[in-house]
Amino acid sequence: MDLESSPFYHLFDTNYATSCAEAKHIHELLRLPEQELRDIDEEIARLDTLLDNLRSRKEILSSYIHKHRQLLSPIRRFPPEMIAELFTYCLPSTHPSTRDPSEAPLLLTLVCKQWREIALHTPYLWSALHIYISDFPGEGFVERRRNRIKQWLERSGNLPLSLSLTHRRSFWEWTHQGSDNQKTRISSLMECLIEYSPRWKDLTLNAPDTVFQLIGAVPPEKLRVLQRLFINVPYSYDHPIPSREFEESLFLFLNRLPRLTSLHLREHLSLPFQSGFQQWSKLTELSLFRRNDRHDRKSNPLLFNDAMRLLSQTPDLRVCKLMIQLDGTAKEHQVTLPLLRDLTLIFYAVPYGKPLSLTLAQSLTVPSLANLVIHGYAPLADMTAIRRDRLELFYRELLSKLFKESTSMQSLDIGVALSFSELFHLVPQLKSLTIFNRREDEIERLIAVVDKSLPESELSLPLCPELQTLKLPNMFRLTPSDLLNLVRSRQEYSSLYSSQNSDPGSRKCRALRTLEVYISSSCDRNDVTPEIMEAFERLREEGMNICIAYNGWPETPEPKDDWPWEGLFDWEGCSEWEVIRSTRMFKTKPENAEMVYI
């Protein structure tokens, strides 16, 4: 049955009004089609009923099979001890456990009755906890939080505890030093935690003075287990620099920790460096960073002389993270840390005063260094060309010395203003490289780091032949095709070198396994072709980890001479607030704030 075969086809989609004879003809013409339509509807209803019955039967059979197959699940045959051991691998690896029900251990108590019983009776799951106290806890808050903390920690048995406490001051507390009521509430909560002080092993504190005063009063015999301490040094709105009294009390507290091996301070404290802190020689991990927040602009990093004097007292360090201020008063030192494997140096250069001495780069010797992070911050716009060149030479000399002396360098995270590509031949064993660099003249040389170093006719290892992880967290003007060519070139050269060099004792050339790139500029839509996207997807299917992000798409400006609301408002006669408010109301499209992932 076709519309074109109808005698009324030429009248369809018109305003034609039929005559009585034509209407009778149409009714006769529709008698059979309408009957056929009713038959089809009845058949559809019958089939729908049959389909519903089949679906219902399918659900019954699926449930029957699923319930029986559950009995065959291998984990049901695991003894509770093995399940408890598996639970420990579900805990967060980067932070202490929280009260979040979507994370272990609380998540494990919501699966089934058996898992809940096992989780509640596995002490290790409850041996770590992060505690957050809001600015203005309401009535009953402290009592409820205290009871829940006690319930949580009681499940940990007699195991050592890892605790994290954060209480951020409100503006009112900064300006009024807090109310007595607030201090009473915090003291009540701290009394609960101090009950467990004999089991403190790892303690992180980001809290006001009241908390430190209470902890400082804990007897030394109750702190014999404490090995790791992280302190975000408290400060007030009017006094962002720690007071002398606080430094002295902290100094005395640290001296009462006989087993302290890991110390992390989020603020510059001068007293321990000048007074001969006896605990330095016991430390295996040390981190001294400047606090960074919107209210603090007065504190300075550790001076170079103090940093070297400090490191000379820590011969057993394995991990060290320091923020250091470079200026012309710094002197050369000779410090050797034979066991140090992880080193993070954040340099702040002063743009004035005496010129920087290049001999400072020879002050530190770390023969076992495996992981290096080195970043530099300097107001280059305020520096003369001579000072900038001298700072670049300092970084070059320092990197060259560290690279030459270390035979086990595997990971490098670098963010200093210099041309460093030619230094990478000193670290052929490097496996992971992170470069934080925005210099345009370095982009091509950067690509050469993981590309071929010689023409294809010459069989030679590229720079960093064992490199498998490359991260570029702050680049620009790199297109997806540039990155794809980089990966492919490395793969091809790895295959070529491996096929022509069968010596098992020789150094291997590896293909990249991880590529993470953030480009701060927008992504041109013409650069993202289907072929490039398919190529990256194939690499992911082959097992390569790839994350490439651009800062959105470029906005297409509207023609300024054809805005539909142009002239509607007299912008020149409006205040700044009115202009901003109006442009927000009449914005024709949302701001381009979405990331673009390749």
The predicted pLDDT at position 286 comes to 93
Q: Which residue has the higher pLDDT, 352 or 100?
A: 100
> Which amino acid, 96?
P
Burial class of residue 462, CB neighbours in 10 A (0-12, 13-18, 19+): buried
Percent of the chain with pLDDT over 90: 33
The predicted pLDDT at position 457 comes to 40
Does pLDDT of 513 surpass 60?
Answer: yes
Whole-angstrom Cα Rg for the chain: 34
The predicted pLDDT at position 493 comes to 77
Average pLDDT, the chain: 80
Does pLDDT of 121 surpass 60?
Answer: yes
Q: Would you list the DSSP string of 307-343?
A: HHHHHTT-TT-SEEEEEEEE-TT-----EE-TT--EE
Look up residue 82 and give its two tokens.
């093995």
Supply the DSSP symbol for 355: P
Mean pLDDT of the 163-185 span: 63
Q: pLDDT category, 269, cuts 50, 70, 90?
A: low
Instruction: Calculate the CA 166 to chain-centre distance.
Output: 20
The predicted pLDDT at position 122 comes to 96
Mean pLDDT of the 293-303 span: 59
Look up residue 563 and give its two tokens.
């805005």
CA distance 416 to 437: 7
The predicted pLDDT at position 281 comes to 87
- pLDDT tens-place string over residues 368-402: 999 999 988 776 555 677 777 888 888 888 898 99
**β-pairing, 545-550 with 596-597?**
antiparallel
Mean pLDDT of the 162-181 span: 64
- pLDDT tens-place string over residues 199-243: 999 999 888 777 888 888 888 889 999 999 998 876 555 555 566
The predicted pLDDT at position 577 comes to 43
The predicted pLDDT at position 371 comes to 95
Is residue 351 helix, strand or coil?
coil
CB atoms within 10 A of CB 260: 17
Q: Would you list the DSSP string of 194-232?
A: HTTGGGEEEEEEE--HHHHHHHHTS-GGG-SS--EEEE-
Does pLDDT of 172 surpass 50?
Answer: no
Q: Which residue has the higher pLDDT, 210 or 101?
A: 101
Mean pLDDT of the 281-294 span: 79
CA-wise closest residue to 283 among 346, 203, 324, 339: 339
The predicted pLDDT at position 141 comes to 78
Is residue 46 helix, strand or coil?
helix
Range in 65-69, 305-309, 319-323, 569-573 with the lowest mean pLDDT? 569-573
Taking every pair of C-alpha atoms in the chain, what is the biggest distance, in angstroms?
Answer: 116
CB atoms within 10 A of CB 542: 10
Mean pLDDT of the 156-171 span: 84
Distances (CA, A) of 222 to 19, 130, 162, 436, 598: 106, 21, 15, 45, 54
- pLDDT tens-place string over residues 349-372: 776 767 777 788 888 999 999 999
The predicted pLDDT at position 258 comes to 87
